[in-house]
Chain A
Amino acid sequence: MRTKLGELEKGMTGVIVKTDGPIEIRRRLLEMGFLEGSSVELVHVAPFGGDPIAVRIRGSLLALRRSEANFIEVDQVKAPAGESK
């Protein structure tokens, strides 16, 4: 299922399809490793509303806000265990 990284829930995994956004942010996201084809897992969400989020990407754990994460399109590969969509 095609969705945005910022719309994933805790425990979900995806493969990045497209990293977009204003050029400054796009470049920054790419430099941090949000590269098309890389797989990404949403591992943690912050308190008070689940934003920012922490994702595992290219061997690192990175924190970012959902607003920026929404510039990243992903193919969701797995729903969290015990949940079906």
Chain B
Amino acid sequence: MSTQLALAGNPNCGKTALFNALTGGRQKVGNYPGVTVEKKEGTRVAPNGEVIRILDLPGTYSLDAKTPDEEIARDVLLGRVESVERPDIILAVADATALERNLGLVLELKALDRPMVLALNMMDLARARGAEIDLDILSRELGVPVIPTVAVKGEGVDSLIERALKLARVPDVDTPEWVTPTPDDVRNRFHQVDAILKKAVRIAARPLVWSEKIDRVVVHPVWGSLILLVVLAVVFQAIFTWATIPSDLIKDGVEGFGTKVGGWLSEGPLRSLLVDGVIKGVGSVLVFMPQILILFFFILMLEDSGYMARAAFLMDRVMGKVGLHGRAFIPLLSSVACAIPGIMATRTIENKRDRLTTILVAPLMTCSARLPVYALLIAAFFPNTPVFGPLRAQGLVMFGLYLAGIVATLVMAWVFKHTLLKGAKPPLLMELPSYKMPAWRNVLYGIRDRAWVVIARAGTVILTITILLWFLASYPKAPIGATEPPINYSYAGRMGHTIEPLIKPLGFDWRIGIAFVPAFAAREVMVSALATVYAVEGKDENSTTEALSEILRKNWTMATALSLMVYFILSMQCLSTLAVTRRETNSWRWPAFMLFYMTTLAYTASFVTYHAAIWAGLG
């Protein structure tokens, strides 16, 4: 087998930037067997032509692991992970501007007694801050070769590899069982660090003045909160405005492609399957890609610049009120665009219970797929009368629906943290790294990896289910001389009738029941499904929605509309979210539970809403 290198280091030491510089994008992202820890692997061609494999281990402050990520980092280094070869050479990475802390892990890695090179990263920043480090003394004292690097600029990368490959290989003998260090072991380790630094560092890096100045404003209790609000406003404005153009393009493209494919084929089941099933189904996922990618762009920029940790710091108290970690704030906020990136962003939450709670409640935040449904119902049932100043009734109802989603999220988080996922509040010990310009490579590769997850995982499941739903909505065919729309005769139609007794108490008839069948895969499909059920035909989307509003106003009571709104706030009608939850929790149990609790919650709340509305005379 070819040589295997593993990058190990503290979080925020530039390890991923170094990995990107080393592999130049020849990377593969997967999962470690049996856990949801991301496995990042890449290759590089060495000067002698050998293809070496490089593994980017999760960042960790010590080998005494507290999270699954840290556990993997340790176990890979110890050769304990099934199907992962023990690395031949350890590439330790340390932030040259924070050696006092970074060298603690380096000493721990050294004690593993494997071939090792230390990359002293961010050397440019350290020098700019006046640091004078004697690399020879440092290397001698540590007992490992030390190579200065500037990962974001690719400096020192060649010499690092060259030096690493020169190391003598040691056979992979069984190392003695790794023992958890005692607090005194940790103390001794850092005393050793201090002794080494005393010899090797003539002048330590000055504090980064501009970063501290920024922080005086950015984490200021008042200004910091205001800035956070502005940042969020900008991000969401961008998601909802920038994304419309590519989303519309994709939508038109998919429709155009569907029409084209439809033109090639003759009328029949194959055409229907491809056009109405496959292309429409895949299109329904693709339409959300611009939003998801723009959101990830911002998340990665904020993360890479160092701002994200500040946001978590500012929000920790508020999130703590419902038992969540400050870091849960960003995933929940991302869920306003779409729960999929939100759930994927929970990976930064160390504590397993906290992470699970955040995953479970994330789909309660009002995602953009609910918007078309809300827009339809609001247009149909609420007049757009001015209420106060620029505020209008329709806008207020929309705001209320968003607010209801937030309240539901926080309440359920509190409930889960006090029942099912009860546990001691994990400590918050979080580094606020110095600000830096985001590295374009980190951001770009990050977006690419996440886009791939959405397309590959959610895409395959969505595709399968949409084909199934297409079948249910298309067969059996309507009898000759049928008076109603064909869908009413299909399996979906029958299902609508079958579940009618079940949904009648919520004020929903069989027509809504039919629309529920395809809307189970994706909420926004509800609008087109209702249009199909009521046989509404329009030239384009806008005229269809308008005509549909008209019909709903005539056919439904206000109580039914309110009940349906409440149902959409709370229910789980998104296969992609279930698929991502399955991936992120590595079990079917949690998506199943998510589906169960959200459906129960939605059913109960809709029931109460419907009957309260009837009681209030809105029936």
Q: A44 and B430 in contact (CB under 8 A), knowing A27-B64, A33-B190?
A: no
Task: Contact check, B427 vs A65: say whether CB atoms are below 8 A apart.
Answer: yes
Question: What 0/1 readout, one digit per residue, does chain A (54-76) give for beta carbons within 8 Å of chain B?
Answer: 10101111111100100000000
Q: Residues of A with Cβ closer than 8 Å to B? A: 19, 23-33, 35-36, 43-52, 54, 56, 58-65, 68
7 A–B pairs (Cβ distance < 8 Å), ordered by A: A30-B186, A31-B62, A45-B221, A54-B432, A61-B432, A64-B430, A65-B316
Q: Could you say which of A28, A29, A49, A60 contacts B317, with CB atoms under 8 Å apart?
A: A49
| B-chain residues with CB within 8 Å of residue A32 when the two chains form the complex | 61, 101, 429, 431
Task: Contact check, A60 vs B431: say whether CB atoms are below 8 A apart.
Answer: yes
Q: Chain A interface secondary structure, helix, strand, loop or mixed?
A: mixed
**C-alpha spacing A44/B432, complex, angstroms:** 11
| A-chain residues with CB within 8 Å of residue B489 when the two chains form the complex | none
| B-chain residues with CB within 8 Å of residue A68 when the two chains form the complex | 427-429
Q: Residues of B with Cβ closer than 8 Å to A? A: 61-62, 64, 66, 97-101, 104, 181-183, 186-187, 190-191, 204-205, 207, 212, 215, 219-222, 224-225, 309, 312-314, 316-318, 326, 427-434
Task: Contact check, B317 vs A48: say whether CB atoms are below 8 A apart.
Answer: yes
Q: Could you say which of A25, A30, A35, A63 contacts B432, with CB atoms under 8 Å apart?
A: A63
Known: A25-B427, A46-B219, A52-B316. 12 other contacts (CB 8 A): A26-B183, A30-B183, A32-B429, A45-B221, A46-B313, A46-B314, A58-B98, A59-B207, A62-B432, A63-B429, A63-B431, A68-B428
**C-alpha spacing A56/B202, complex, angstroms:** 21
**C-alpha spacing A31/B11, complex, angstroms:** 13
6 nearest interchain CB pairs?
A47-B221, A58-B100, A30-B186, A61-B432, A48-B317, A31-B62
Task: Contact check, B427 vs A28: say whether CB atoms are below 8 A apart.
Answer: yes
Least Cβ–Cβ distance between A62 and chain B, in angstroms: 6
Task: Contact check, A30 vs B100: say whether CB atoms are below 8 A apart.
Answer: no
Task: Contact check, A60 vs B221: say whether CB atoms are below 8 A apart.
Answer: no
| A-chain residues with CB within 8 Å of residue B186 when the two chains form the complex | 27, 30-31
Q: A59 and B98 in contact (CB under 8 A), knowing A28-B427, A43-B215?
A: yes
Q: Could you say which of B98, B182, B428 contacts A60, with CB atoms under 8 Å apart?
A: B98
**C-alpha spacing A64/B326, complex, angstroms:** 11
**C-alpha spacing A29/B66, complex, angstroms:** 12
| A-chain residues with CB within 8 Å of residue B100 when the two chains form the complex | 33, 58-60
**C-alpha spacing A23/B186, complex, angstroms:** 12
Q: Could you say which of A35, A36, A63 contacts B309, with CB atoms under 8 Å apart?
A: A63
Task: Contact check, B427 vs A54: say whether CB atoms are below 8 A apart.
Answer: no
**C-alpha spacing A32/B207, complex, angstroms:** 18
**C-alpha spacing A60/B306, complex, angstroms:** 13
**C-alpha spacing A54/B385, complex, angstroms:** 48
Q: Could you say which of A47, A52, A54, A59 contacts B222, with CB atoms under 8 Å apart?
A: A47
Task: Contact check, A27 vs B181: say whether CB atoms are below 8 A apart.
Answer: yes
**C-alpha spacing A52/B61, complex, angstroms:** 20
Least Cβ–Cβ distance between B592 and chain A, in angstroms: 32
| B-chain residues with CB within 8 Å of residue A24 when the two chains form the complex | 66
Least Cβ–Cβ distance between B99 and chain A, in angstroms: 7
Least Cβ–Cβ distance between B195 and chain A, in angstroms: 13
| A-chain residues with CB within 8 Å of residue B326 when the two chains form the complex | 52
Name the residue of chain A whose CB is nearest to the CB of B181: A27
| A-chain residues with CB within 8 Å of residue B430 when the two chains form the complex | 62-64
Task: Contact check, B221 vs A46: say whether CB atoms are below 8 A apart.
Answer: yes
Least Cβ–Cβ distance between B114 and chain A, in angstroms: 21
Least Cβ–Cβ distance between B101 and chain A, in angstroms: 5
| A-chain residues with CB within 8 Å of residue B309 when the two chains form the complex | 63
Task: Contact check, B66 vs A28: say whether CB atoms are below 8 A apart.
Answer: yes
Q: A33 and B432 in contact (CB under 8 A), knowing A26-B183, A27-B181, A46-B316?
A: no
Task: Contact check, A35 vs B429: say whether CB atoms are below 8 A apart.
Answer: no
Task: Contact check, A52 vs B317: say whether CB atoms are below 8 A apart.
Answer: yes
**C-alpha spacing A51/B429, complex, angstroms:** 13
Q: A35 and B187 in contact (CB under 8 A), knowing A59-B99, A63-B432, A68-B429?
A: yes
| B-chain residues with CB within 8 Å of residue A58 when the two chains form the complex | 98, 100-101
| A-chain residues with CB within 8 Å of residue B66 when the two chains form the complex | 24, 28
**C-alpha spacing A28/B309, complex, angstroms:** 18
Q: A63 and B428 in contact (CB under 8 A), knowing A31-B61, A31-B104, A36-B187?
A: yes
**C-alpha spacing A21/B318, complex, angstroms:** 25
**C-alpha spacing A53/B244, complex, angstroms:** 40
**C-alpha spacing A47/B219, complex, angstroms:** 9
| B-chain residues with CB within 8 Å of residue A35 when the two chains form the complex | 187, 190-191
**C-alpha spacing A27/B188, complex, angstroms:** 12
Task: Contact check, B205 vs A27: say whether CB atoms are below 8 A apart.
Answer: no
**C-alpha spacing A51/B314, complex, angstroms:** 9
Task: Contact check, B316 vs A54: say whether CB atoms are below 8 A apart.
Answer: no
